[in-house]
């Protein structure tokens, strides 16, 4: 009897976990569509996953292969790129989006899903605007050109390090492609 109850409980937990994960993915996709519409002032765009396409072979970067990179197109016109990544927080992870123009100049960074009780201040537009209009060659340093947030030190450092790493990996890949 107890074994049956345990099995039913485990099955319910597994179902809840996979359903919750699926809903998060749908939520992130919906938020990503909304941000792209606002930033690029366009409703009728297509997202093309370019992680494995010619010219964007990220075989040398497991970090880039583990995340999603999209070309944002309107018909035959390239509007820009979207990078959807995950970064660690104190006890969990959070998803973030970086939108670039065609020349990989950052147009916007946004925290899509933040799961901690503390540190959510990194989601503020004001704090994230520090990264705006930056190029792949720029580097960000916590406490120098990136402001600290009281109570969000781990998340601030994580977001700063993640953006630095994305920039360096994309810069490295684009250098390989241009050879």
116 contacts: CB under 8 Å, gap ≥ 6: 89, 90, 91, 92, 94, 155
Position 56 scores a pLDDT of: 59
What phi-psi label fits residue 46: left (phi over 0), alpha (psi between -120 and 50 degrees) or beta?
Answer: beta
Which pLDDT does position 118 carry in this prediction?
A: 87
Digit-by-digit pLDDT tens for the chain (179 residues) are 544 444 443 333 343 333 344 355 888 899 999 999 999 999 999 999 887 655 555 555 556 666 788 999 999 999 999 999 999 999 999 999 999 999 999 999 999 999 999 889 999 999 999 999 999 999 999 999 999 999 899 999 999 999 999 999 888 887 766 65
Question: Is 114 in a helix, a strand, or coil?
Answer: strand
pLDDT of residue 102: 95
pTM higher than 0.85 for the full model? Answer: no
Alpha carbon separation from 154 to 26, 94, 127 (Å, rounded)? 27, 12, 15
Please tell me the predicted confidence (pLDDT) of residue 62: 59
CA-closest candidate to residue 122, choices 110, 105, 136: 110
Structurally, how many domains does the chain consist of?
A: 1
**Which tokens belong to 10?**
């485990």
Enclosing domain of residue 146 = 2-178
How confident is the model at residue 22, as a pLDDT?
A: 37
pLDDT of residue 127: 96
Predicted confidence at residue 122, as pLDDT, reads: 94
């Amino acid at each position: 009897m107890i074994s049956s109850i345990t099995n039913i409980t485990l099955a319910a937990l597994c179902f809840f976990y996979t359903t919750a994960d699926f809903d998060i993915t749908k939520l992130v996709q919906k938020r990503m569509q909304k941000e792209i519409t606002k930033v690029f002032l366009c409703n009728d765009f297509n997202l093309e996953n370019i992680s494995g396409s010619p010219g964007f072979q990220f075989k040398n970067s497991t970090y880039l292969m583990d995340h999603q990179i999209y070309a944002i197109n309107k018909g035959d016109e390239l509007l820009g790129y979207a990078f959807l990544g995950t970064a660690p927080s104190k006890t969990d992870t959070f998803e973030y989006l970086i939108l670039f123009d065609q020349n990989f100049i950052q147009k916007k960074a946004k925290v899509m899903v933040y799961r901690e009780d503390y540190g959510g201040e990194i989601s503020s537009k004001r704090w994230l605007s520090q990264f705006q209009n930056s190029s792949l060659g720029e580097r960000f340093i916590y406490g120098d050109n990136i402001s600290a947030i009281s109570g969000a030190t781990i998340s601030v450092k994580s977001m700063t390090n993640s953006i630095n790493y994305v920039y360096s990996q994309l810069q490295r890949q684009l250098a390989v492609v241009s050879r």
